[in-house]
Amino acid sequence: MKLSALNLSLIILISTALISCNGTTGENNPVTYNSTGPSNGSLVIVGGAMQDTAIINRFIELAGGPEARIVVIPTASGAEDFDSERVTAPFKTAGAASVTMAHTYDPEVADTEEFAEPFSNATGVWFNGGRQWRLVDAYGGTITETVINRVLERGGVIGGSSAGATIQGDYLVRGDTEGNTIMMGDHVEGFGYMKNTAIDQHLLVRNRQHDLVEVIQKYPSLLGIGLDENTAIIVQGNEFEVLGESFVAVYDYNRWDENSAAEYPLTNGGHFFLLREGDRYDVASRKVTRWRGGNSRNIFSEENINSN
């Protein structure tokens, strides 16, 4: 494990100890809100099996439209070889003129200026699916990771689907090299484009909607975000908007029914609530800022709580 991953593990352990000492979980007190999105640029986070052209079109638009300079990283798949034409085809077909592929499994290669150079003027970076720990092993703590971060600093966009979604969170779920059913494994640090979050994917199609619960129970300050297939969140600042055909689940310990201090808690032991296309959510305040279809869908409104 790289030093940066070790540091995150120590921070999490210390935070958990402080929570225990303060009685946060034991006395059901609210935990501190400290989740944030990128201060500059945008994120496109997709739950896998992306088919909706609106998602890839939005990514290209955020990267600069036809003038976008996009780099695609297929490393998570674990394949021995990659056909660059096949890897870049979805973006070229959608209208992006400048699309290149960058790949290595060797962190020493990724830690060179030569390999990182294509990212230095990129306006968009995309992570394909596979196993998210491969991205950590190849790029974590390298010059390439640093240069990719600068894409956001310049106002560009970082996107990804499946493993490319999970890697964008702070806490890396399903990061164990032994298998993807282990939620908290031997790789626990993502690239952290969304701070203090844990992001899961293929949510409903693979019946994973309860899997993030154990993670939030252990680290209640984390915000859990689960995305179903062909569904994305578009993150700008601390707010995201849902785009796609299915649902996004939000896991906020401060909404859990067993937390007696919860304001407008989820009822019947619920641990998540669902958002759909057009809904907006602020990760810093942990509040839905727009319910598509109006306030009748607002499960946290006084009117709906009192009518149930």
Sorted by where each starts, the structural domains of the chain and their CATH numbers stand as 3-307 (3.40.50.880)
SS3 287: strand
| Per-residue model confidence as pLDDT tens digits over 271-298 | 999 999 999 999 999 999 999 988 889 9
Q: What angle do CA 223, 167, 75 make, to 5 degrees?
A: 170
d(CA 147, CA 151): 7
Which residues are paired to 35 by β-bridges? none
- For 160-202, give the DSSP string: EETHHHHTTEEE-TT--TT-TT-SS-S--B---SEEEEEEE-S
d(CA 77, CA 193): 21
Higher pLDDT, 300 or 61: 61
Query: Residue 109 belongs to what H/E stretch?
Result: helix 107-110
pLDDT given for residue 161 in this prediction = 98
Q: For the whole model, what pTM was predicted?
A: 0.89
| Per-residue model confidence as pLDDT tens digits over 18-36 | 333 333 343 445 566 799 9
Q: Which residues, in sequence order, are CB contacts of 108 under 8 Å at separation 6+?
A: none
Are 159 and 127 spatial neighbours (Cβ–Cβ below 8 Å)? yes
d(CA 96, CA 64): 9
